[in-house]
C-alpha cells in the first residue's frame, strides 16, 4: 500500500525532475555555445586620427572628436592645461573633479562645472563597461593596467603613463593635445617647460653638494600619518632642479615614516603637500612633535603653492614649482620673480590674467604666513625679511 503510494508520488516528481533538468541542461549548452563564439569588437572609426598611446598601441580617434573620458588619478587639470579645450571632456572621475576644488581652473575654464553628475565615475578602478560604452567617447584616457577590458570591446582606450617622471608629463601632454586635435600646443608647452627649467638651472647648477639644502616633501594624512616623497619621485627630481636634495635617499616611492625617522633625517627644509590634513605651515612648525625639528625652529616649513590646479604639478605648473623652490632655497642667487612669472605664464598659456587675490591663493601666501623669506612672494614685498 505504502509502496504503491510512493510510486504514485514519484511519477509526477520524476517527470518534473526530467523536464526541469533537461531545461537547465539545454540552457547551459546554449550559453556555452554562445560563449564559445569569437568575441566581436566595436569597429574603429573610419578616417580617424591615429594616436599612439603609452603602450605604443595605435588608437583611431574619430573626427570630429566626440570627446574624452578622463579615467585616471587626478590629472584632469593636466588635460585642461595641455589642451585648453574643456569642452572636449565628456566624463571624468570624482577624484578628478575633487582635485579641482579650491583651485583657479574653474575661473580659467568655466565649462568644467557643467560636467553632468551622471558622467562622473567615482573611480577609474572599477569602470562599468556598459556605462563607458553608453557615453560614446572618442577617447578614454586610463592607466595602462586598467585598459585591457576596455580594449577587449573595442573602445578607443588611450593608456596614459603614471610613472613619476618629467618624460611622462611631456608624453601625456602630447597625447592629450593630439587627441583633442591640438598637437602644436603640446610642442609649445614642452618648449616653454624646458626653457623655464634651463633658466633655473643656470642659477643653481654650479652649486656644490654642501650648498644644496636637504628637503623632505611630506603629506600629513588625516590620521596623522606622514607620507614622504621618496628618491624616485617626481618631487625628488624637481628638488634637484631647484638646487636642493631629497633628504630621503632610499626606499619606495612614497613611504610612511614616523616622526622619529624624519628627525633622524634632519631636513633643512620641510615641504608640506597641498593636500595635507594640516594646511598651515606655521601650525605644523609650532606643534609637537614638529616644533623640535631644526627646520621648524628656523621657520623653514613651507606649504607648497596651490598653483592654478590645487597643487598638482605638470606641464605648466612644474616649472613654476621649481622656480618657487629655487627662490626659497637660494634667495641670494635668484631674484624674486616668481609672482610676475606666474601671472605671465598663465596669461601666455591660458589667456588668463589672475587678480592679485588669485595670485595670493596660487602662491599659498596665507598658508605660509610667518615662514622664513616667504614675504618675497607677497604682492607688495620684494625683500627677504625674516619674520
Partner 1 sequence: MTASRSLVAFRRMAEPALGVVLVILVLLSLCIGVYPVAPGTVARILLALVFPGAGPEIPSWSEAEQVTVQVIRLPRIMLALSAGMGLGMSGAALQGMMRNPLVGPDLVGVSPGAACGGVLAILFDWPPAAIVTCAFAGGVLALILASGLARLAKNGGVLALILAGVIVGAFFSAVHGLVQYLADPETKLPSMVYWLMGSFADANQRKVVILGVPLIVGGSLLLLLRWRINLLSLGDLDAASLGIPVERLRWLIIVLVSLIVSAQVSVSGIVGWVGMIVPHFARMLVGPDHRRLVPASALLGAGFLLIMDDLARSIANQEIPIGLLTAAIGTPIFAILFWKSQAKGWTHE
Count of chain residues binding partner 1 (CB under 8 A): 56
The least distance separating partner 1 from the CB of residue 162, rounded to whole angstroms, comes to: 5
The only residue of 45, 73, 102, 181 in contact with partner 1, by rule CB under 8 A: 73
Name the one range near partner 1 by CB under 8 A: 129-137, 181-189, 281-289, 330-338: 129-137
Distances (CA, A) of 365 to 200, 211, 303, 347, 356: 22, 26, 9, 20, 11
The only residue of 7, 131, 206, 277 in contact with partner 1, by rule CB under 8 A: 131
Name the one range near partner 1 by CB under 8 A: 15-23, 199-207, 260-268, 360-368: 15-23
Q: How far apart are the C-alpha atoms of 321 and 281, rounded to whole Å?
A: 17
The least distance separating partner 1 from the CB of residue 271, rounded to whole angstroms, comes to: 18
Q: Is 118 or 188 the residue whose CB approaches partner 1 more closely?
A: 118
What are 192's three cell numbers?
Answer: 616653454
Taking residues 329 to 358 in sequence order and writing x for each that binds partner 1 by CB under 8 A, - otherwise, the string is ------------------------------
Other CB atoms closer than 10 Å to residue 224's CB: what's the count? 9
Q: How far apart are the C-alpha atoms of 245 and 38, rounded to whole Å?
A: 55
The least distance separating partner 1 from the CB of residue 61, rounded to whole angstroms, comes to: 18
Name the one range near partner 1 by CB under 8 A: 9-17, 107-115, 290-298, 372-380: 9-17
Q: Cβ contacts of residue 266 below 8 Å, gap of 6+?
A: 214, 247, 293, 294
Residues between 258 and 277 with contacts to partner 1, criterion CB under 8 A: none
The only residue of 24, 98, 277, 385 in contact with partner 1, by rule CB under 8 A: 24
Burial, 205: exposed, middle or buried (Cβ in 10 Å; 0-12, 13-18, 19+)? exposed
Q: Cβ contacts of residue 102 below 8 Å, gap of 6+?
A: 306, 310
Strand partners, 219: 227
The only residue of 1, 36, 222, 288 in contact with partner 1, by rule CB under 8 A: 36
CA angle 242–247–252, rounded 5-degree value: 105
CB 162 within 8 A of CB 73: yes
Bond prior to 64 in cis (omega within 30° of 0): yes
The least distance separating partner 1 from the CB of residue 265, rounded to whole angstroms, comes to: 19
Q: Is 40 or 288 the residue whose CB approaches partner 1 more closely?
A: 40
CA angle 23–28–31, rounded 5-degree value: 125
Taking residues 133 to 172 in sequence order and writing x for each that binds partner 1 by CB under 8 A, - otherwise, the string is xx--------xxxx-xx--xxx-------x----------
Q: How far apart are the C-alpha atoms of 94 and 123, rounded to whole Å?
A: 7
Q: Is 283 in the site for partner 1 (CB under 8 A)?
A: no
Q: Is 10 or 191 the residue whose CB approaches partner 1 more closely?
A: 10
Q: Is 16 in the site for partner 1 (CB under 8 A)?
A: yes
Distance of CA 133 to the CA centre of its chain: 24
Q: Is 172 or 299 the residue whose CB approaches partner 1 more closely?
A: 172
Site residues for partner 1 per CB under 8 A = 9, 13, 16-17, 19-21, 23-24, 27, 30-37, 39-43, 73-74, 118-123, 125-131, 133-134, 143-146, 148-149, 152-154, 162, 227, 252-256
Amino acid at each position: 500500500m505504502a509502496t504503491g503510494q510512493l510510486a504514485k508520488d514519484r511519477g509526477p516528481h520524476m517527470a518534473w525532475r526530467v523536464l526541469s533538468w533537461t531545461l537547465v541542461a539545454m540552457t547551459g549548452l546554449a550559453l556555452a555555445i554562445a560563449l564559445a563564439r569569437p568575441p566581436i569588437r566595436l569597429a574603429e572609426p573610419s578616417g580617424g586620427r591615429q594616436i599612439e598611446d603609452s603602450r605604443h598601441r595605435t588608437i583611431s580617434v574619430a573626427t570630429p572628436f566626440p570627446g574624452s573620458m578622463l579615467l585616471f588619478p587626478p590629472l584632469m587639470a593636466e588635460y585642461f592645461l595641455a589642451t585648453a579645450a574643456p569642452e572636449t571632456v565628456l566624463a571624468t572621475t570624482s577624484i578628478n573633479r575633487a582635485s579641482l576644488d579650491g583651485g583657479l581652473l574653474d575661473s580659467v575654464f568655466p565649462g568644467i562645472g557643467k560636467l553632468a553628475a551622471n558622467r562622473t565615475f567615482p573611480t577609474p578602478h572599477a569602470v562599468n563597461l556598459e556605462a563607458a560604452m553608453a557615453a560614446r567617447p572618442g577617447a578614454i584616457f586610463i592607466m595602462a593596467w586598467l585598459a585591457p577590458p576596455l580594449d577587449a570591446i573595442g573602445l578607443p582606450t588611450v593608456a596614459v603613463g603614471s610613472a613619476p617622471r618629467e618624460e611622462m608629463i611631456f608624453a601625456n601632454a602630447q597625447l592629450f593635445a593630439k587627441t583633442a586635435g591640438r598637437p602644436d600646443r603640446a610642442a609649445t608647452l614642452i618648449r616653454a617647460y624646458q626653457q623655464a627649467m634651463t633658466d633655473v638651472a643656470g642659477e643653481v647648477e654650479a652649486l656644490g653638494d654642501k650648498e644644496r639644502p636637504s628637503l623632505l616633501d611630506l603629506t600629513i594624512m588625516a590620521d596623522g600619518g606622514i607620507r614622504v616623497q621618496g628618491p624616485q619621485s617626481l618631487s625628488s627630481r624637481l628638488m634637484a632642479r631647484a638646487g636642493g636634495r631629497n633628504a630621503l635617499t632610499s626606499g619606495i616611492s612614497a613611504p610612511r615614516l614616523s616622526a622619529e625617522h624624519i628627525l633622524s633625517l634632519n631636513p633643512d627644509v620641510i615641504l608640506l603637500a597641498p593636500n595635507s590634513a594640516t594646511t598651515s605651515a606655521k601650525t605644523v612648525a609650532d606643534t609637537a612633535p614638529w616644533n623640535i625639528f631644526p627646520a621648524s625652529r628656523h621657520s623653514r616649513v613651507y606649504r607648497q603653492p596651490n598653483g592654478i590646479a590645487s597643487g598638482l604639478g605638470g606641464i605648466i605648473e612644474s616649472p613654476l614649482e621649481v622656480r618657487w623652490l629655487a627662490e626659497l632655497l637660494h634667495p641670494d642667487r635668484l631674484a624674486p620673480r616668481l609672482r610676475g612669472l606666474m601671472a605671465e605664464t598663465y596669461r601666455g598659456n591660458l589667456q588668463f590674467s589672475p587678480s592679485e587675490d588669485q595670485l595670493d591663493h596660487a602662491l599659498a601666501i596665507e598658508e605660509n604666513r610667518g615662514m622664513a623669506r616667504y614675504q618675497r612672494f607677497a604682492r607688495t614685498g620684494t625683500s627677504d625679511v625674516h619674520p
